[in-house]
Structure 1
Amino acid sequence: MYTLIGGPNNRTFRVLWMLEELGLPYERQDAHPHDPLVREKSPLGKIPVLMVDDVPLTDSVAILTWLADSTGRMTAPAGSLARAQQDGLTQQIVDELEGQLWIATRHSFILPTERRVPEIKPTLAWEFARNCDVLASRMQGDFLMGDEMTVPDLLLAHCLNWAVAAKFEVPNEALQAYGARMRSRDAYRRAVASEKELLAARQASESA
Structure 2
Amino acid sequence: MYTVIGTSKSRAARVLWMLEELEEPFKHVAATPRSEGVVEFNPAGKIPVLIEDGTPITDSTAIIQYLADKHGRLTYRAGTLDRARQDSLTQFLLDEFDAALWMAARHSFVLPEELRQSAIKDSLRWEFERSQKTLMHRMGEGPFLMGAQMTVPDIILTHCGNWALTARFPIVDHKLSLYLERMRARPAFKRAMAR
Give the C-alpha shift of residue 8 in structure 1.
3.0
Q: TM-score scaled by structure 2? A: 0.97
Distance in structure 2 (CA, Å) of the matches to 1:51 and 1:8: 16
Give the C-alpha shift of residue 38 in structure 1.
1.0
Matched, 1:105 2:68: no
Alignment of 1:5-44 (within 5 A): 5-44=5-44
Identical aligned residues as a percent: 52
Distance in structure 2 (CA, Å) of the matches to 1:13 and 1:30: 10
Distance in structure 1 (CA, Å) of the matches to 2:37 and 2:190: 28
Give the C-alpha shift of residue 79 in structure 1.
1.0
Matched, 1:182 2:160: no
SS at match of 1:10: coil
Give the gaps of 5 or more residues in structure 2: none
Contact 2:144/2:154, CA 8 A, preserved across alignment = yes
Alignment deviations for residues 2-47 of structure 1 (CA, whole Å, 9 cap, x no partner)? 1111123110100000100000000111211111221111132110
Letter in 2 for 1:181: R
Hey, which bits of structure 1, 4+ residues long, moved more than 3 A? none
Distance in structure 2 (CA, Å) of the matches to 1:101 and 1:119: 14
Alignment RMSD (CA, Å): 0.8
Letter in 1 for 2:89: L
Give the C-alpha shift of residue 137 in structure 1.
1.2
Distance in structure 1 (CA, Å) of the matches to 2:54 and 2:14: 21
Give the C-alpha shift of residue 163 in structure 1.
0.3
Letter in 2 for 1:159: C
Alignment deviations for residues 63-106 of structure 1 (CA, whole Å, 9 cap, x no partner)? 00100000010000011111111000000000011111000000
Distance in structure 1 (CA, Å) of the matches to 2:167 and 2:46: 20
Distance in structure 2 (CA, Å) of the matches to 1:157 and 1:166: 14
SS at match of 1:147: coil
Q: TM-score scaled by structure 1? A: 0.91
Letter in 1 for 2:122: P
Matched, 1:142 2:139: no
Matched residue, 1:161: 162
Distance in structure 1 (CA, Å) of the matches to 2:137 and 2:112: 38
SS at match of 1:137: helix
Q: Identify the structure with the greater helix proportion.
A: 1
Matched residue, 2:3: 3
Matched residue, 2:124: 124
Q: Which moved more, 1:55-64 or 1:36-45?
A: 36-45
SS at match of 1:41: coil
